Structure 1
Amino acid sequence: MDILRISDLRIGFTVHGFARDVVKGVSLRVPAGKTVALVGESGSGKSVISQAIMGLLPRAGGITGGEIRFRDPLAPENVIDIAALESEGRAIRDLRGGRIGMIFQEPMSSLSPVHTIGNQIEEALQLHRPTPKAQARALIEAMLKRVGFKDPPRAYGTYSFELSGGLRQRAMLAMALICQPALLIADEPTTALDVTIQAQVLDLMRDLQAEMGMAILLITHDLGVVANMADEVVVIYHGEIMESGPVEDIFRRPRHPYLKALLKASPHFDMREGERLVALREARPRPKAAMRIAPPPTAKVEATPLLSVRDLRKTYTTGSRSFLGKGTLSTITAVDGVSFDIARGECLGLVGESGCGKTTVSKIIMRAVTPNAGSVTFDDGHERRDILALKGEELRRFRQKVQMIFQDPVSSLSPRMTVMNILREPLVIHGRGDGDEQFARVRSLMEDVGLDPRFLSRYPHSFSGGQRQRIGIARALALDPGLIICDEPVSALDVSVQAQILNLLKDLQSERGLTFLFISHNLAVVNYMAERIAVMANGRIVEIAPRHLLFTAPAHPYTKALLRSVPFADLDRKLDFKLAAPGGASDMAHWGPAFRPEPNGAGLAPLSLGDGHYVLARPSADIREVA
């Protein structure tokens, strides 16, 4: 029996008086108890279809044709055509959140910051299944326990901003499932999550599906998640179905060129040395970027690292004090004794779960955060500087040497500035050239990143996400920096755009001799970009090694857990959810005694396993046993 059957669905939007079709005759089905994956890029119409099923289309949008037929297993003879229901009528409100649940992509903006988690879940319950207060609380706490909260009574009274991304997604799952829906729509439920948390959330969804017998419509662009979760797959492009069928046929016998291109655009661990990602569509052809003009370094300078980080430590104090000095304060150690070097022209990958301290390290290097202890030394071949000791004019001049590419290409560009002003601003601040020289430099930067210089008078909102990230890259290149810090530069992008940006960064690195610190939680992306990889957990680097050694012979339990949690777009290498990261990869209780510090936090040191491979362990541990 099909829980949901969509036939020839057409959805149109009217913007500034112009009508435009965004979903063009889509047909698909979701059988009872099965998972159907709807796969495609941003703008393909995936989320619009889910909004139509839930009756949540924006005012500018509307269903212009077709049917969305929902058959409730509790009353199989009663089939409801959702497309024909009044948009804010009683019938659609009864279905939405009741028999059809939904998990949204961004749990932070989907949960109210001024209501507790318990209040929000109770609201959904009381709307569809009015229940006495005490009984409702018991049901909610039982559901919070089922979705993985260790202390449900405490979780009931917490606010969304007090929870991590993984726990917020679990709270969303509890809210969607409290009324035991027949159909769960999951719109990119794990996009913003680390691989270990993603594995836990996906495992939880599978367990609850088996327990409750519900059907799942999974909307995603991650083919690794699709291979591990879906029974059937529907591939959509620009509002039209390109290919659909059982997961076995889709992965083993893809037929449509678009699907084949999607499979080739994702970075994976089996890529050969020098192999490039194949973008679905190439960006504007770009000339080779000119090499940075700098005198060739001597042999002695060449052997010296560009950046040396030693024993960084950063703590934060949280809590509050009253006017009389009473209250509770607690100290959190974000970075604890971090040391590493980056050679000239190298890309060092820095990976770990959210909250492990990756971004704090990057902010310390950028002098946006002041550490409690440690040193950061930058040697450009002409002068060796202690970055943390720089002040005033010296610090202003140094800022040209280190630039950053940010995670979110939308919020990192001012909406009130044209692209010309955005790219020219660093040149103006640091007094690089006169007006004509600056204009020429900006045009050259646009060509370096594959954008048409004719777009310089446009504002950021008129560009796609990938184009905005190219503008961010051009801005980072404007001052010819010695080091560029890439903080999750492709995590907000689709797989096809991601391939373009990663290829661009690799090309710029080889053409201009750039040095990168590449921060990411996506291990496949880091494997594609970096020569060496450092793995962070709980504020410390637990393992650092050349790329091929880290992925073929990981030594630390945390690294092994990260690698076990990566979903492959390969049916022959299914993810074992139970083994992926039980209890959380960063929980030291799951590490062997050789990797756990003494009760006072001491007792660990980097042990060499040869060939530049180091692991944080007790000096007394047998290195062969550790490896």
Structure 2
Amino acid sequence: MEQPGAADVLRIENLRISFTLHGQPNEVVKGVSLRVPAGRTVALVGESGSGKTVISQAVMGLLPRNGFITEGQILFADPAKPGKLVDLASLDRDGRKMRRLRGGRIGMVFQEPMSSLSPVHTIGNQIEEALQLHRPHPRREARAVTERMLDLVGFRDPHRSYDQYSFELSGGLRQRAMLAMALICRPALLIADEPTTALDVTIQAQVLKLMKDLQQEIGMAILLITHDLGVVANMADEVVVAYRGQVMEAGTAEDIFRRPQHPYLKALLKASPDFDMKPGERLVALRDIAPVLPREFARRADEIPARVTELIRPAAPPVLLSVRNLRKTYGGKKGAGVVAVDDVSFDVLRGQCLGLVGESGSGKSTVGHMIMRSRSADSGSIIVNDAAGPIDVRALEGAALRAFRPRMQMIFQDPVSSLSPRMTVLDIIREPMIIQGAGTDAEQKRRAVELMECVGLDPRFLSRYPHSFSGGQRQRIGIARAIALNPELIICDEPVSALDVSVQAQVLNLLKDLQASLGLTYLFVSHNLAVVHYMAARIAVMARGRIVEIGPRDAIFERAAHPYTQALLKAVPLPDLDRRLDFATCVPSASMSDPANWPETFRGGAPGQLAMVDLGGGHLVLADPACTLRDLTAA
């Protein structure tokens, strides 16, 4: 057996993994080799389907029952036991040796913390269980150790948090709980499988800093599995790039980002949105989609300019959607309870994309749902300007509301749960047309074929069910459904947050092409600032239910005035080694979404004291109107 290097905690040699499908073996990992040195971070990068998670499952002995290792070694050298070498591939996945290592000397943080945590056990019980399995303690002492770990991973009140359930915690705190569970036994190796994919940029920066700090304190090695090249640039010492079960390129972070060699790696780097992209510059998708417009849309497409940039050149383009003083509360009668949306006002110009950004819980998705009338607003107005006059969306009822609905559609965040698993793709795309009585059965089927071609999918797949498609393909099906009724306004609610960077580029380019071809207007809700920078002409920033800053894209990114906007921009991880995150400044000690931590200029001393102050050029910030422009830009 080849000995790993003295500093290697993990070395994988020529690993091959197959899955049995219909009685036939299907190889998904094809001769992968990599190493993870002690005290260092190695990033395993690639698209969904590249075999990243399967490799981590093999290391942990967690392969599904139909998965098996056909060749290769997984060599683990525990620094606490010098000279002792274990081939994890040869161990019984349910045996005592594997169970002793799994969770004890090798910890793992899973991608989705909500589904990985038990909803019927407290956070403390679940973390303490891992401790008692591998390092038994007296009950009182075990609770103390668990609370110390909760404090270490950033829980403000560990004693109280011990007795909380997972559904009582935010996404960031749930991920911290998963980290505490993985680290409670102080492992030699931590496997982090997409640990920050669904987190806001500020929470993501907190989790990344936490992993770095704990790595230094414990001295553990980290195998970081991710498709986010910005995270890789800020965390990894070495990088392994995988594609379809094979390693395409491997090397130091310096080599990978400054001297990429393989075409696949170069394509991944070009597919990532960047703040330095010029107006009109496109992402380079690995497999781009050229939309083919349905015949019913051709007449409308002929009536509008070829590019949406031409549409927004006039000095005063028409306003399609006007939202004023929107308010929504939960947990009580109107005006009481928790305020989710508070006095939100904005305009969306026809043919334009307005980006709505903020942390989870800021109220941005609630605003989208209220505009769609899927949730009711407590107060405020939602006006759509029609050629025949303004339409009060909140006042629509019955037949009038039903007749209006085709004009506004929504693309949802999760392409899995937003598509019925019991309906074929044909039924999913036809459903809006059936509800609205648009066309005969033959016409609806013909349009479904055209819509599949429009979003770059083979019409022969119409008889399939959603589970047989990848995440990116499912999202394209959702887009086809959203444009089936030829809407004017589409609300995009985190449409690419669950997608790989290459698939994300496909979908974003498709949305841009459809906007240009059909004259669509978008309200683009996202917490990914790089994506919003690519898609939106204007950007509104939300915090605690209020819009704190709104303006043209360049003004927001180059001259952000509000401290919360500035904190968001500082926390964005870019795939650039020369612009790495400064964790000392991008992770403040106090939450920047809390108005109590803002300067007095932006906090206000009394209710109603703040107002939107014009900084010029359509750039507005929520602040004390008594302050001067110099005060606001210097704050």
Match of 1:591 in 2: 598
Q: Report if the CA contact (8 A) 1:534-1:543 is conserved.
A: yes
Match of 2:300 in 1: 293
Alpha-carbon distance between aligned partners in 1 of 2:110 and 2:332, rounded to the nearest angstrom: 30
Alpha-carbon distance between aligned partners in 1 of 2:168 and 2:148, rounded to the nearest angstrom: 20
Task: Write the letter of the residue equivalent to 1:314.
Answer: K
1:311 paired to 2:325: yes
Alpha-carbon distance between aligned partners in 1 of 2:485 and 2:137, rounded to the nearest angstrom: 63
1:247 paired to 2:261: no
Q: How far off its partner does 1:418 sit?
A: 1.5
Alpha-carbon distance between aligned partners in 2 of 1:383 and 1:15, rounded to the nearest angstrom: 59
Q: Which moved more, 1:408-417 or 1:332-341?
A: 408-417
Q: 2:511 aligns with which of 486, 490, 505?
A: 505
Give the SS at the match of 2:204.
Answer: helix
Q: 2:390 aligns with which of 359, 366, 384?
A: 384
Shift in alpha-carbon separation, 1:318–1:245, aligned structure 2, 3 A: farther
Q: How far off its partner does 1:15 sit?
A: 1.3
Alpha-carbon distance between aligned partners in 1 of 2:326 and 2:509, rounded to the nearest angstrom: 32
Q: How far off its partner does 1:282 sit?
A: 2.7
Output one character per residue of 1:501-557: Cα deviation in whole Å (capped at 9) or x when no partner.
Answer: 000000000000000000000000000000000000000000001011111111100
Q: Report if the CA contact (8 A) 2:293-2:451 is conserved.
A: no
Q: Report if the CA contact (8 A) 2:329-2:336 is conserved.
A: no
Alpha-carbon distance between aligned partners in 2 of 1:192 and 1:349, rounded to the nearest angstrom: 18
Q: How far off its partner does 1:199 sit?
A: 0.1
Q: Report if the CA contact (8 A) 1:301-1:381 is conserved.
A: no
Q: Report if the CA contact (8 A) 1:286-1:450 is conserved.
A: yes
Alpha-carbon distance between aligned partners in 2 of 1:541 and 1:201, rounded to the nearest angstrom: 26
Give the SS at the match of 2:239.
Answer: strand
Aligned ranges for residues 173-322 of structure 1 at < 5 Å? 173-283=179-289, 285-288=290-293, 290-291=297-298, 293=300, 303-317=317-331
Match of 2:627 in 1: 621
Task: Write the letter of the residue equivalent to 2:571.
Answer: S
Q: How far off its partner does 1:419 sit?
A: 1.5
Alpha-carbon distance between aligned partners in 1 of 2:60 and 2:457, rounded to the nearest angstrom: 39
Match of 1:2 in 2: 8
Q: Report if the CA contact (8 A) 1:291-1:511 is conserved.
A: no
Aligned ranges for residues 303-342 of structure 1 at < 5 Å? 303-317=317-331, 331-342=337-348
1:167 paired to 2:173: yes
Q: How far off its partner does 1:353 sit?
A: 0.3
Output one character per residue of 1:46-96: Cα deviation in whole Å (capped at 9) or x when no partner.
Answer: 000111111100000011111111111111111111001011000000000
Alpha-carbon distance between aligned partners in 1 of 2:90 and 2:98, rounded to the nearest angstrom: 10
Q: 1:395 aligns with which of 398, 401, 406?
A: 401
Q: Which moved more, 1:335-344 or 1:388-397?
A: 388-397
Q: Report if the CA contact (8 A) 2:301-2:517 is conserved.
A: no
Aligned ranges for residues 559-578 of structure 1 at < 5 Å? 559-578=565-584
Match of 1:103 in 2: 109
Task: Write the letter of the residue equivalent to 2:324.
Answer: R
Alpha-carbon distance between aligned partners in 1 of 2:515 and 2:122, rounded to the nearest angstrom: 47
Shift in alpha-carbon separation, 1:8–1:330, aligned structure 2, 3 A: farther
Q: Which moved more, 1:417-426 or 1:78-87?
A: 417-426
Alpha-carbon distance between aligned partners in 2 of 1:472 and 1:191, rounded to the nearest angstrom: 21
Give % identity. 68
Q: Report if the CA contact (8 A) 1:228-1:575 is conserved.
A: yes
Match of 1:359 in 2: 365
Task: Write the letter of the residue equivalent to 2:17.
Answer: I
Match of 2:98 in 1: 92
Shift in alpha-carbon separation, 1:183–1:222, aligned structure 2, 3 A: same
Alpha-carbon distance between aligned partners in 2 of 1:281 and 1:378, rounded to the nearest angstrom: 36
Q: 1:39 aligns with which of 16, 37, 45?
A: 45
Q: 1:468 aligns with which of 458, 463, 474?
A: 474
Output one character per residue of 1:559-580: Cα deviation in whole Å (capped at 9) or x when no partner.
Answer: 0000000011011111011211
Match of 2:616 in 1: 610
Alpha-carbon distance between aligned partners in 2 of 1:492 and 1:422, rounded to the nearest angstrom: 21
Give the SS at the match of 1:510.
Answer: helix
Match of 1:22 in 2: 28
Alpha-carbon distance between aligned partners in 2 of 1:478 and 1:292, rounded to the nearest angstrom: 15
Q: Report if the CA contact (8 A) 1:349-1:533 is conserved.
A: yes
Shift in alpha-carbon separation, 1:526–1:207, aligned structure 2, 3 A: same
Task: Write the letter of the residue equivalent to 1:278.
Answer: V
Match of 2:307 in 1: none
**What's the RMSD between the two structures over aligned residues?**
1.9
Q: How far off its partner does 1:113 sit?
A: 0.3
Shift in alpha-carbon separation, 1:291–1:302, aligned structure 2, 3 A: farther
Match of 1:322 in 2: none
Task: Write the letter of the residue equivalent to 1:441.
Answer: R
Task: Write the letter of the residue equivalent to 1:409.
Answer: P
Match of 1:124 in 2: 130
Alpha-carbon distance between aligned partners in 2 of 1:36 and 1:331, rounded to the nearest angstrom: 46
Alpha-carbon distance between aligned partners in 2 of 1:350 and 1:467, rounded to the nearest angstrom: 25
Q: 2:17 aligns with which of 11, 32, 46?
A: 11
Shift in alpha-carbon separation, 1:330–1:176, aligned structure 2, 3 A: farther
Alpha-carbon distance between aligned partners in 2 of 1:87 and 1:530, rounded to the nearest angstrom: 49
Give the SS at the match of 2:579.
Answer: coil
Q: Report if the CA contact (8 A) 1:197-1:584 is conserved.
A: no
Q: Which moved more, 1:41-50 or 1:414-423?
A: 414-423
Give the SS at the match of 1:293.
Answer: helix
Alpha-carbon distance between aligned partners in 1 of 2:287 and 2:435, rounded to the nearest angstrom: 36
Q: How far off its partner does 1:296 sit?
A: 6.7
Task: Write the letter of the residue equivalent to 1:597.
Answer: G
Task: Write the letter of the residue equivalent to 1:595.
Answer: F
Task: Write the letter of the residue equivalent to 1:399.
Answer: R
Alpha-carbon distance between aligned partners in 2 of 1:379 and 1:519, rounded to the nearest angstrom: 21
Give the SS at the match of 2:103.
Answer: coil
Q: How far off its partner does 1:347 sit?
A: 0.4
1:72 paired to 2:78: yes
Q: 2:451 aligns with which of 442, 445, 452?
A: 445
Alpha-carbon distance between aligned partners in 1 of 2:318 and 2:229, rounded to the nearest angstrom: 42
Give the SS at the match of 2:340.
Answer: strand
Q: Report if the CA contact (8 A) 2:292-2:450 is conserved.
A: no
Q: How far off its partner does 1:426 sit?
A: 1.1
Shift in alpha-carbon separation, 1:412–1:451, aligned structure 2, 3 A: same
Task: Write the letter of the residue equivalent to 2:258.
Answer: R
Q: How far off its partner does 1:581 sit?
A: 3.4
Q: How far off its partner does 1:209 sit?
A: 0.4
1:140 paired to 2:146: yes
Give the SS at the match of 1:105.
Answer: coil
Q: How far off its partner does 1:398 sit?
A: 1.1
Q: How far off its partner does 1:590 sit?
A: 2.7
**TM-score, structure 2 length as denominator?**
0.95
**Residue segments in structure 1 that go unaligned for 5+ positions in a row:** 320-328
